[in-house]
Amino acid sequence: MQKLHLVRRFILLPLATMFTTVGLLTGQADAGLIFTIDTFTSDTLSIKLAEDPTTGLAPRTDGLPTGTSPDLYFIATDESQKNDWILQSAATTISASGSIGGIAVKEEFFLIYNNDNFAGDALRATFSGGLNTGDVVTEALTFTWSGTNLFDPDAVDSITLTWGASNIGAIHPWGAFQSSTSTATVPEPSTAIAMGLLGIVGFAGNRRRRRQESVA
């Protein structure tokens, strides 16, 4: 009985813990990249992906090989809106920084699709080498597309991030689904400015109050 207890304590339980931990880490790494929309106006769309070791590139869910595509796509989540939200295919400025799996973005290969026969409306972010399932953001990513009257923010309720172009035009969303973000959560520029001003006023008020208390 004592031997069985020792085997369970020092061999079976550590093994079970190890395999559970590996399983959790694997699941987290394939959970899909998560993004936020910082700015979305008719002239600018700015998207960010923070460094996060617990979320990596998720594979395709149909069981077929995902491949090592260097491309991420941002598309309308609702297929009925896939041709509505990008108004033209030329951006005055495209800027990008960051990396996935140590592979940096390559902004000169970024593309804007407007009413493409296969993609519909889409933004493509390209990296300097192939990406792999489970790769995480190793340096915070920022993508910005700017121009004049590029977008119609009111024409899309949510944006989806996918990886690769497998089955493009055949299903929606195509490629390996990562995550979706509602455009309704993006603050209007005037709101963001007002919130910033309120923060400054509040900070100044707190400093004044503390100074008066210290004098008293």
Q: pLDDT digits over 134-179, tens only?
A: 999 999 999 999 999 999 999 999 999 999 999 998 999 999 999 9
- In contact, 74 and 47? CB cutoff 8 Å: yes
> In what helix (H) or strand (E) does residue 176 lie, and over which residues does it extend?
strand 176-182
pLDDT at residue 91 tops 70: yes
The structural domains of the chain, with segments of one domain joined by +, span 31-200
Of 46, 45, 73, nearest to 57 by C-alpha is 73
Q: pLDDT digits over 111-146, tens only?
A: 999 999 999 999 999 999 999 999 999 999 999 999
- In contact, 151 and 107? CB cutoff 8 Å: no
What is the reported pLDDT for 186?
78
Sheet strand arrangement including 158-163: 111-116, 120-126, 71-76, 158-163, 176-182
Residue 141 tokens, joined = 């990513």
What is the reported pLDDT for 58?
96
What is the reported pLDDT for 65?
79
pTM of the model: 0.75
